[in-house]
């Protein structure tokens, strides 16, 4: 668990830059999966970590971490990802209990929800990420002979480019209600790309659709620069999250959605740690303090 090679931010796959963060989340999910009190299970997660040359010495079990739960990265931060996975699993499964049949994972990374959640059989899961990340993911899943539980459509495209054509060309239907997820994504995008993404989700959704996303309060980037979570991630695995985050002013996406008529609710991760009685609680100098999980629902249009 020593430092990795110097960080490059323009790498397309999972070998470096923002793609490597997908492996960080996968390692955290692997660790969460085998905890005695796990909040979410992802049996594929450890295979991604083991298949990637960039992280051969990363742990996939908490027992492999010398200081265990006291380790800020593989203890507290990994538990954060476990909690986030569970909360967003629950959100998605709740959403498809209605007539929502399309699921769009934005910046899907190594998310295996199409393989591990019990969806209604007619659901379609669209996974958007950059081509290199999705190619690595496919290779690992193919090697495992993994079969998705529902129709799964990878959409290799950069979310800073015109991704609408890519999504609609592979069958996404804006007239059918959908649920969208931007988990661990928006703070890597320039603010114009985030604003465009939120506008586009609004444009591509009909009443009854839903969206969850993770945001960071702007002050987080300034106030918690030396937070143990950021420091441990940089020193132990060479990922400098502060360097990867977009440093421009953040848009108020929850406010923008509310202005477009969506109902929104915003939570801290700690709200859910308390609910599940597991997961991170507030700590001094804590990068997680600025994280917000936003849940948004688009109302049905009143009949005229
Ligand atoms: C921290 S990972 C999160 C992955 C996944 N949502 C999860 O929680 O497991 C961030 C993901 O966003 C993707 N991403 C970042 N910028 C992107 C962009 N401009 N276009 C498409 N995907 C992007 C990365 O490739 C990476 O897979």
Reference 81, options 233, 204, 253; nearest CA is 233
Handedness of CA 257, 158, 132, 238 (dihedral sign): negative
Paired tokens of 64: 């492999």
pLDDT for position 3: 41
Residue in the structure block whose two tokens are 């397309």: 12
Q: How many CA atoms within 13 Å lie on the side-chain side of 40?
A: 28
pLDDT for position 238: 96
Share above pLDDT 70 across residues of the chain, in percent, rounded to a whole number: 94
Q: Cα of 301 to ligand 1 centre, how many Å?
A: 32
pLDDT at 219 over 70: no
Query: Residue 265 belongs to what domain range?
Result: 19-298
Residue 248's pLDDT band, with cuts at 50, 70 and 90, is confident
pLDDT in tens, 193-216: 999 999 999 999 999 999 999 999
Handedness of CA 241, 245, 248, 249 (dihedral sign): negative
Whole-number CA gyration radius for the chain: 18
Mean pLDDT of 36-64: 97
Count structural domains, the chain: 1
Mean pLDDT of 258-287: 96
Of 3-7, 13-17, 118-122, 271-275, the one with minimum mean pLDDT is 3-7
Q: Cα of 193 to ligand 1 centre, how many Å?
A: 13
Paired tokens of 28: 């955290």
DSSP string for residues in 83-100: HHHHHHHHHHHHHTTTT-
Q: What is the CATH number of the domain that holds 33?
A: 3.40.50.150
Paired tokens of 114: 């199409």
Q: Is residue 70 part of a domain?
A: yes
Residue 220's pLDDT band, with cuts at 50, 70 and 90, is low
**Residue from 28, 128, 130, 195 whose mutation best tests the ligand 1 pocket (most atoms within 8 A of CB):** 130
pLDDT for position 1: 40
Residue 300's pLDDT band, with cuts at 50, 70 and 90, is confident
Beta strands in the chain (DSSP E): 102-106, 124-129, 151-156, 178-182, 210-216, 262-267, 291-298
> Which residues does residue 216 pair with via DSSP β-bridges, in sequence order?
291
Gap between the Cα atoms of 32 and 35, Å rounded: 5
Contact 280, 288 (CB under 8 A): yes
Q: Is residue 10 part of a domain?
A: no
Q: Is residue 205 part of a domain?
A: yes
> Which residues does residue 129 pair with via DSSP β-bridges, in sequence order?
156
Residue in the structure block whose two tokens are 């040359």: 53
Q: Is residue 1 part of a domain?
A: no
Q: Is residue 13 part of a domain?
A: no
Q: Is residue 36 part of a domain?
A: yes
Q: Is residue 3 part of a domain?
A: no
pLDDT at 301 over 90: no
Whether 179 lines ligand 1, by a CB cut-off of 6 Å, is no
Average confidence score pLDDT of the chain: 94
Q: Is residue 303 part of a domain?
A: no
Whether 194 lines ligand 1, by a CB cut-off of 6 Å, is no
């Amino acid at each position: 668990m020593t430092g990795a090679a110097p960080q490059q931010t323009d790498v397309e796959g999972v070998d470096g830059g923002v793609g490597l963060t997908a492996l960080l989340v996968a390692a955290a999910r692997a660790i969460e999966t085998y905890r005695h009190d796990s909040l979410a299970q992802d049996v594929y997660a450890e295979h991604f970590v083991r298949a990637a040359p960039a992280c051969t010495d990363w742990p996939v079990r908490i027992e492999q971490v010398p200081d265990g739960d006291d380790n800020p990265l593989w203890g507290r931060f990994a538990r954060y990802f476990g909690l986030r996975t569970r909360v967003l699993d629950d959100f998605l499964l709740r959403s498809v209990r209605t007539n929502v049949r399309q699921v769009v994972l934005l910046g899907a990374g190594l998310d295996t929800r199409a393989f591990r959640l019990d969806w209604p059989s007619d659901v379609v899961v669209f996974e958007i990420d950059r081509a290199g990340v999705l190619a690595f993911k496919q290779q690992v899943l193919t090697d495992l002979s993994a079969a998705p539980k529902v129709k799964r459509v990878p959409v290799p495209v950069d979310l800073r480019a015109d991704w609408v054509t890519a999504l609609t060309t592979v069958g996404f239907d804006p007239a059918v209600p959908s649920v969208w997820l931007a988990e661990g994504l928006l703070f890597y995008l320039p603010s114009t790309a985030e604003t465009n993404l939120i506008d586009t989700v609004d444009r591509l959704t009909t009443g009854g659709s839903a969206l969850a996303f993770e945001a960071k309060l702007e002050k987080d980037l300034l106030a918690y620069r030396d937070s143990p979570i950021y420091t441990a991630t940089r020193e132990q695995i060479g990922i400098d999250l502060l360097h990867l985050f977009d440093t421009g002013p953040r848009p108020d996406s929850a406010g923008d959605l509310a202005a477009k008529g969506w109902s929104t609710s915003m939570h801290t991760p700690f709200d859910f740690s308390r609910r599940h009685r597991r997961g991170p609680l507030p700590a001094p100098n804590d990068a997680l303090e600025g994280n917000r999980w936003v849940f948004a629902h688009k109302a049905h249009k009143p009949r005229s």
